[in-house]
Amino acid sequence: MARATVTCDQAQARRLEARRLICALGEAYHPYDLERAEAQPPERLAPRLEGIWQQLAGIARAADLPATVPICSNAPAPRSRAATASSSSITMAAIA
């Protein structure tokens, strides 16, 4: 029972951290720096986004997500390390 509680607590902590990072993606991806009220150049934006994506990939590994999700999966969203990597590459390509 104690092991299940620890596992559940760890999963909840990863979920909360992932939500925080997803919010950080939205803030970082905004075309303007909201604190400075100026456009964000790709040179400043790229490292910030890459760092967030690396942290999300680490959470996916820690959660032991599968490498891929079958195409016929009924999952509501693609929850896999491949989906995280794909989303990262799309985001990074958009700012280039």
Q: Return mean pLDDT, the chain.
A: 78
Contacts of 9 (CB under 8 A, 6+ apart): none
**H/E stretch holding 59:** helix 42-62
Determine contact, residues 95/46, Cβ cutoff 8 Å. Answer: yes
Predicted local confidence at residue 55, as pLDDT: 92
pLDDT of 83 > 60? The answer is yes
Residue with structure tokens 């990262």? Answer: 88
Predicted local confidence at residue 82, as pLDDT: 66
Spans of all domains in the chain: 2-95
Instruction: Mark residue 51 as left, alpha or beta (left: phi above 0; alpha: psi -120 to 50; beta: remaining).
Output: alpha
The β-bridge relationship of strands 38-39 and 32-33 is antiparallel
Global pTM reads 0.68
pLDDT of 49 > 80? The answer is yes
